[in-house]
A = this chain, B = another copy of it.
Amino acid sequence: MSEPQVIREIGPLRQRLDAVRMRQQSIALVPTMGALHAGHAELLRVARENADYVVASIFVNPLQFDRTEDLDSYPRTLDADLRVCAAHGVDLVFAPSAAEFYPVEPLTFVESPVLSRHLCGAFRPGHFRGMATVVLKLFNVTQPHLACFGEKDAQQLAIIRRMVTDFNLPLEILPVATVREADGLALSSRNKHLSPEERAVAPVLARALKEARASIDAGETDCSMLKAAATKAFDAEPLVRVEYFEIVDPETLSPLDRVADAALLAGAIWLGRTRLIDNVTWRSSKAIT
C-alpha cells in the first residue's frame, strides 16, 4: 500500500498524465469532493479494476453549492481521504485549490435545462450547472479513458452521461452501484450530520423506494398510487420532511404518469438540517437493456 502522489496544480497534473498516456496506459478518473466513505471506495475499486492508472480528484466545488452553509459545513478530511486512496491503489490524487481551478470568474457553463428541471434540480437552482461544469473541467485536465460515478446521485449520473454523448467526449462513464448500510441507508458524506434519532429514521427513504419498486413488480403502474404509498410511509415519521418523491424516465428524467418499460424512482428527504437522497431503478424483465 504505497501513498498516492498528491498534485495540486493543473500544469504538473497534465505533465504527469501525458507521461502515463505515452506509456499507452489507460487512465480512470474518480471525481470526488473528499470525505471519502465506503461508497467512494467502491468507485475506486471499479476504477482500479478497469484501468492501468487511477486518478482520484478531491475538490469541494464552490460552483455547485446553492447554500453557503452547506459549502462551509461540507466535511473536509484530506488525511483520512488519502489513506482511503492509498488502500485502494489510487496512483494520483488531484486536489486543486479553488484559486487554481477557478483563476478567473467563470463565464462559461454547462447547462442541461431538460435534465435539470425535475428531481433535485427543481430544488437546487444552479447545482447541476456547477456540477457538470466542474466535471467537464476535470475531464479536460485529466483526459481520462473512463470515469466512475455512483448511481446514488442518479440525476448527476444521467446529466454526465448525456454530456458525454452530446459533447462527443472521448471517454466512457462507468456507473457504480450504491453502497448501503445494513439497514438500507445509502452511504453519503452528509450522514455524519445526522443525530442518533435522525439516523434511526433515515432508512425510511430507501425502504419507500424499495417498496415502490416491489409494487411495480407486483403490477402497479399508476405513479400517483405509488407516490401516495410513499407519502404515507413518510407521514408516519414526524422527523421526516419530504422534498420530493418522483418516478421519472431514466434517460430524460421527465415524470411518468404510468410505468412502462423502465423507471427511475428517486426521493429527497430532510432530517433536521440534513438532506438525504436515494433512488432505485426498475426495468421490465421484458425490456431490452
Give A62 Cβ to nearest chain B Cβ, in Å: 14
Q: In chain A, residues 201-241, which have Cβ atoms closer than 8 Å to a Cβ of chain B?
A: none
A234-268 vs B, Cβ < 8 Å mask (1 yes, 0 no): 00000000000000000010000000000000000
A14 within 8 A of B: yes
Question: Of A30-38, A102-110, A189-197, which binds chain B?
Answer: A102-110
Given contacts A108-B115, A140-B168, A140-B170, 10 further A-B contacts (CB under 8 A): A14-B170, A106-B166, A107-B113, A107-B252, A108-B110, A108-B111, A108-B159, A110-B111, A136-B167, A137-B168
A112 within 8 A of B: yes
Find chain B residues with CB under 8 A from A109 CB.
Answer: 110-113, 166
Find chain B residues with CB under 8 A from A170 CB.
Answer: 14, 140, 143
Give chain A's interface secondary structure class. Answer: mixed
Q: Across the interface, do B110 and A110 meet the contact criterion of CB distance under 8 Å?
A: yes
A residues sitting closer than 8 Å to B (CB atoms) are: 10, 14, 104, 106-115, 129, 132-133, 136-137, 140-141, 143, 159, 162-163, 165-170, 252
A108 touches which of B132, B137, B141 (Cβ 8 Å): B132
Interface centre among A108, A112, A167 (most CB of B within 10 A): A108
Q: How far is the CA of A223 from the CA of B106 in the complex (A)?
A: 28
Find chain B residues with CB under 8 A from A159 CB.
Answer: 108
Q: How far is the CA of A267 from the CA of B53 in the complex (A)?
A: 51
Give A135 Cβ to nearest chain B Cβ, in Å: 11
Interface centre among A104, A114, A168 (most CB of B within 10 A): A168
A107 touches which of B115, B141, B168 (Cβ 8 Å): B115
